Chains A and B, each alone.
Chain A
Amino acid sequence: MADEESQELSDKQKKEIAKWFLVNSPAGEIQYVAKDVRSILMDEDVYNMAVSEAFPLYNKAHLIFLEMPNRSGEVIVTSFGELSVNEYLDPRTAQVATVDHIKQACTVVRPATDEELPSVYIEDFRCALDAEVIKYVGETYPKGVCSVYCVNGKDVEGPGSNFELAVVISAARNSPQNFCNGTWRSIWNVGFKDDPQMIEVTGKIQVGAHYFEEGNVQLDAEHECMDSTIFQHPEDCAIAIANIIRHHETEYMASLEVSYSKLPDTTFKDLRRKLPVTRTLFPWHNTLQISLTRDITKELGIGK
């Protein structure tokens, strides 16, 4: 009846709405969301605009990792390695991968140029840390990948200057046949300070899970923390930083388990109790009488 007054949306508004759905897709589900968005929009131009803007944002936020065509491992799609809209550096193999954001695939790789790579001095620290993090991720995440980037001061040639590395860890599990998807993403910024000789570590962990068999339930957890260690030789720094990461992630995992274990009897109780305050099922037949003599119940206080 009131439908006539709803004004037509402009293409730009439609695109923004489509983008919102795409960017808010749960881990591993943007392709399914895109399919639904496409059939709702019924406008290929708007759809193409929306996906071309939304996929790169989603891919980077979700730290998706893509197999490189020459069997040299996986490249992580992250702003730390972003050279252009669809070129991502894989520092470990010193390659640049061309990424098709919408297909979520890596099409070609080329060797990175010298300008795209850090100096030899930085590379010593980066490489040593990469080796330690690979060890840790291999032991900890059955399906995890990691990479270490230089995000500041990549041309520093020797001691006396600050520089910054970033460790990215991404683990994903998609099992749509079991109606379940999830990701673990962590980013550790490691600032090497020359004066005083300190290393400052800040971490951000994001964990998400979606279970959707006859329902829609999602976990969305985030955590930030800080730590520090002393500036030493590359190998010693690497071990110390990897230990910090291991320590905080293990502690965080334990805290997630605590949060879950507290749910049934504590946290959830503040929403709804398992049983009434009287600890017996609700006496429906009696309350009918109670309701007829409302004033009395009010005087006695509700319940008992």
Chain B
Amino acid sequence: MEAAMGLMRRIPPKNSATALSALLSLLPDQSSNLLSQIDQPLEVLCDMDCGKQFLLCEYNRDADSYRSPWSNKYHPPLDDGLYPSPELRKLEIEANDVFAIYRDQYYEGGTSSVYAWEGDNGGFAACFLIKKDGSRTGHGRRGYLQEGSWDAIHVIEVGAEEEGRVHYCLTSTIMLSLTTNTEASGSGTFNLSGSIRRQMNMDLSVEENRLCSMGRMIEEMESKLRYSLDQVYFGKTKEMICTLRPPSEVVQMTMPDT
């Protein structure tokens, strides 16, 4: 298992789906472990009832069917599928509506889905999913990307009330890949792909609406992850390129140095 995680840390993130299925076939006994620890790009299905798309993950899966957050029906239909309690379903409906607006404001397109389920010791859990195709043939408003995918998976565990406080534990994964054309004579592509996962814990007052609390945490986390991908991770790869081949001005400047 450790070796499998080691491989996932090295294999190009844009090949992660192939890598995961390769690991699953090599380590069939570890399949549930692998599936729970390795995130992979989200898949989309269309809800036949309302024509809206929804996202698939382990949390809305039962046997080989997936539950749509819009119609609450399994696709393909399932006789004895699992459903959240009426109370949780209410929260789920609300969360899907609000999160769709959030998604539209930050992503200007894309697909989102929220699923809730009963947690251990009186709490509950929910996952908030976003998938965006930012390519110029997809939802890329500005048309800069030849290829561009973003998958965000936020799993949040909400504890039971304890002395007026509620514990929230958020685990977020972002996977992305973007490809642009090189802007030099000739032809070429410039691709950056990556995946990072972070966790955030908070104790918040019961007074605050749960959905608001979850939403704020996710918003803060997404902004942090976007920032570190952009500034830290992409920045490090650029630094590496500049070490391999220092830009000419730098060479001239450092030449007289001792």
Contacts and interface: CB of A to CB of B under 8 A. Distances in A.
B216 interface: yes
Interface string B131-147: 01011000111111100
Interface in A259-294: 259-260, 262-264, 266-278, 281-282, 284-285, 287-288, 290-292, 294
A223 B31 CA distance: 39
Nearest to B94: A291
Interface in A200-219: 203, 205, 207, 209-212, 214-219
Given A24-B11, A267-B178, A270-B134, A291 B26 contact: no
A141 B244 CA distance: 6
A271 B135 CA distance: 8
A6 to B, nearest CB: 5
B186 A219 contact: no
Q: Chain B contact residues: over half helix, strand or loop, or mixed?
A: helix
Contacts of A168: none
A17 to B, nearest CB: 5
B206 interface: no
B142 A270 contact: yes
B188 interface: yes
A282 B98 CA distance: 10
A139 interface: yes
Interface residues of A, number: 96
B184 A184 contact: no
Contact of B140 (A141, A257, A270): A270
A294 B12 contact: no
Contacts of A217: 13, 192-196, 229, 233-234, 236-237
Nearest to A267: B144
Interface in B75-120: 94, 97-98, 101-102, 104-108
B9 interface: yes
Contacts of B107: 271-273
Contact of B150 (A3, A272, A282): A272
A53 B194 CA distance: 28
Interface string A123-160: 00000000000000001111110000000000000000
Given A217-B236, A264-B230, A256 B241 contact: yes
A173 B6 contact: no
B51 interface: no
A211 B22 contact: no
Contact of A291 (B97, B134, B139, B238): B97
Interface in A18-57: 20-21, 24-26, 29, 32-33, 35-37, 39-41
A120 interface: no
Contacts of B160: none
A236 interface: no
A248 to B, nearest CB: 7
A294 B248 CA distance: 57
B247 A302 contact: no
The 10 closest A-B pairs by CB, nearest first: A225-B186, A223-B188, A217-B194, A276-B105, A215-B196, A182-B240, A209-B237, A36-B3, A211-B236, A255-B184
Interface of B: 3-4, 6-15, 18-19, 22-23, 25-29, 31, 94, 97-98, 101-102, 104-108, 132, 134-135, 139-145, 148-150, 176, 178, 180, 182-198, 209, 211-212, 215-216, 219, 222-223, 226-227, 229-231, 233-234, 236-241, 243-248, 251
Interface of A: 3, 6, 9, 13-14, 17, 20-21, 24-26, 29, 32-33, 35-37, 39-41, 139-144, 171-173, 180-184, 203, 205, 207, 209-212, 214-226, 248-260, 262-264, 266-278, 281-282, 284-285, 287-288, 290-292, 294, 297, 302-303
Given A217-B194, A221-B191, 6 more contacts: A140-B246, A144-B244, A181-B240, A217-B234, A225-B185, A273-B106
